[in-house]
Amino acid sequence: MDSLKCLNDKTIFLLHRNNLLIPLITTELKKQELSNINVSKELKIEAIQQFLKKLKLPNQEAFEEWKKNSNLTDLEIENIALVDEKLKKYCKDNFNNQAESRFLERKSELDIIVYSLLRVKDSDKARELYLRIAGKEEEFSYLASEFSEGMEQKTCGIVGPAPLGAAHPNLIQHLQNKPIGEVQPPIIIENSYVIVRVESFEPAKLDNFMREKMTQELFNNWLLTKAQEISQKLLAKSKTNNVTL
């Protein structure tokens, strides 16, 4: 990559030692890949207008002052404003044919779920609370707000809506394919006894939003892999030159 040729061997090692080499390569590689992406004139105007709106500057004079203080050229501002649109187009052009397989790989993690959760440290207490909920003696929400020992206490036990994959790995297995509205017996997760009940479940769909999300995930994976390869080559070359810090 031409933009990295300015780095000497000592600089490469210094960046590596401070975990900055791969982030730098990733940023430069992304810029390089997006630099050849063209967007329509209409989309360009709209993107720049939206970017300027986000700045919340009252007039052209204020914008010129901001530009001067930021030390940015008009071309640099245009590139910043267009990065999201260019990224969407790049991902679609290069990874759209892999989006469905990526989605099928990740589907179980992307399903949207709402569930009630209650956790306590004491096994006997957990069993008692479970039986009170199962026997309809008390509302799950009331017992969670009174006895749960996690952050869910503040939401009366409700977690979500959230992707199923955001839950603890052991909890994911416990939530999958459970009947809606049926409280589950306590299980132990990280030294706590956890009681859950699925409140709603929405299977993920490969719509336009999800397809875009999958292509961006694929791009990010490719970007990291490529950055790691470049990093290894740079470090190997520096070691060959017997560079130390």
Amino acid identity for residue 159 in this structure: V
| β-pair partners for 194 | 119, 187
Phi-psi region of 62 (alpha: psi -120 to 50; beta: other; left: phi over 0): alpha
H helices present in 60-162, as ranges: 60-70, 74-95, 99-110, 123-134, 140-147
**CATH code 3.10.50.40 region(s) in the chain:** 112-202
| Per-residue model confidence (pLDDT) at position 73 | 87
| Per-residue model confidence (pLDDT) at position 176 | 86
Query: How far is C-alpha 237 from the geometric centre of its chain's CA atoms?
Result: 34
Task: Give average pLDDT by consecutive 10-residue segment, the chain, 245 residues.
Answer: 85 92 94 89 86 83 86 86 92 96 91 95 94 93 93 93 90 89 93 95 94 96 95 83 55
Q: How far apart are CA 45 and CA 43, in angstroms?
A: 5
| Per-residue model confidence (pLDDT) at position 72 | 86
| CA atoms 116, 122, 127, 128: torsion sign | negative
| Per-residue model confidence (pLDDT) at position 36 | 87
| DSSP for residue 179 | P
| Per-residue model confidence (pLDDT) at position 243 | 53
Amino acid identity for residue 57 in this structure: L
Residue with tokens 């004491």: 122
| Per-residue model confidence (pLDDT) at position 242 | 59
| β-pair partners for 187 | 194
Cα angle: 7, vertex 33, 100; to 5 degrees: 135
Supply the pTM of this predicted model.
0.75
| Level-2 CATH architecture, domain 112-202 | Roll (3.10)
Q: How far apart are CA 102 and CA 213, in angstroms?
A: 10
Q: How far apart are CA 89 and CA 219, in angstroms?
A: 11
